[in-house]
């Protein structure tokens, strides 16, 4: 009888440990890469956007390809999302996909970083 009790308790503990492990895994999120089309114009823009993105919470890497102005961003799904990442870019004065640049910041960009008229 005693061994049945021990077995039940250990089964319960095992299940508990299992579910908390699952929960932990869920909270950790996963690393995914998204591509965002920007309005970057020069190397200065590239540098600025990449640096700021890498400093953003939940972002591991950011590489802007100047041939197509697309930035590849690797982020953790538990800590960030595409919306937040696009907002970082628009906050620097650049368009991010369909999201428009922050107008007041765009106005302060050097001439070489502005979109050609
Ligand atoms: Cu620039």
SS3 69: coil
Give the pLDDT confidence score for residue 68 in this predicted structure. Answer: 98
Between the CA of 90 and the centroid of ligand 1 the distance, in Å, is: 14
Task: Give me the architecture of the 30-113 domain, per CATH.
Answer: 2-Layer Sandwich (3.30)
Which residue blocks in 29-117 are alpha helix, DSSP H?
Answer: 43-54, 82-91, 103-106
Strands (E) across 1-117 are located at 31-37, 59-65, 70-76
Between the CA of 11 and the centroid of ligand 1 the distance, in Å, is: 61
Between the CA of 36 and the centroid of ligand 1 the distance, in Å, is: 17
- 20, 21, 64, 65, 72 from 50: Cα distances, Å: 36, 35, 7, 10, 9
Between the CA of 40 and the centroid of ligand 1 the distance, in Å, is: 6
Domain limits, the chain:
30-113
Between the CA of 22 and the centroid of ligand 1 the distance, in Å, is: 45
pLDDT tens by residue, the chain, 117 residues: 567 777 777 767 676 776 666 665 567 999 999 999 999 999 999 999 999 999 999 999 999 999 999 999 999 999 999 999 999 999 999 999 999 999 999 999 999 999 997
Give the pLDDT confidence score for residue 8 in this predicted structure. Answer: 72
Give the pLDDT confidence score for residue 5 in this predicted structure. Answer: 73
Between the CA of 47 and the centroid of ligand 1 the distance, in Å, is: 9
Give the pLDDT confidence score for residue 23 in this predicted structure. Answer: 62
Between the CA of 84 and the centroid of ligand 1 the distance, in Å, is: 22
């Amino acid at each position: 009888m005693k061994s049945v009790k021990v077995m039940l308790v250990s089964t319960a503990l095992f299940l508990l440990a299992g579910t908390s492990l699952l929960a932990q895994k869920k909270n950790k999120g996963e690393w995914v890469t998204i591509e965002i089309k920007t309005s970057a114009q020069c190397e200065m823009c590239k540098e600025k956007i990449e640096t700021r993105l890498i400093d953003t919470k939940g972002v591991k890497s950011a590489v802007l390809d100047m041939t197509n102005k697309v930035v590849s961003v690797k982020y953790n799904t538990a800590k960030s999302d595409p919306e937040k990442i696009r907002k970082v870019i628009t906050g620097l004065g650049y368009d991010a996909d369909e999201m428009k640049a922050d107008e007041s910041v765009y106005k302060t960009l050097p001439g070489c970083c502005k979109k050609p008229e």
